Amino acid sequence: MLYFQFLALVFGTIMITMAPFVALKGDRWIDLLREVIYPEKRPVWLWVAGAASIFLVLITWYAEITTSVPLSWIMTLYVSLAIPKFYLVIFRYDQTRNILVSLMDRGRVFSLGLAGSLYCMGFLILCLGIFAF
């Protein structure tokens, strides 16, 4: 139970904290995405981040199977979304980057949409960690 509560509180807090930063920094955030997170050449740190996310997914599924925490399946599914993201970023990097760059070209609309999505998902996950677990 504490594992799922910890995950929900950490992810929710990070997402809620990042949302205003993304909304206020707008163009600087897009530049950071283009230059550091998704540069032309695939960065090596993506392999490390992908391996860490797969490890987190495995631990979460192990906790899901071995414990009976109500509503833990929601956090398990949320954490499991790292697998398709890992696949797209590692094995289809050029296609994924092209799609993201075309979205980033929309400028302020992209930043506000991303910030709104981050805030809403962060709020829901934080509420899950506070009230459900």
User: Residue 42 has what pLDDT?
Assistant: 87
Would you mind telling me the total number of residues written for the chain in this entry? 133
Map out the domains of the chain as residue ranges: 2-132
Provide the whole-model pTM: 0.83
User: What would the pLDDT profile of 62-90 be if each residue is shown by its tens digit?
Assistant: 999 999 888 899 999 999 999 998 899 88
Q: Give how far Cα 20 sits from Cα of 4, 28, 80, 110, 118, Å.
A: 25, 13, 26, 14, 9
Which residue type, as a one-letter code, is found at position 78?
Y
Given a cut of 50, the residues of the chain with pLDDT beneath it are: none
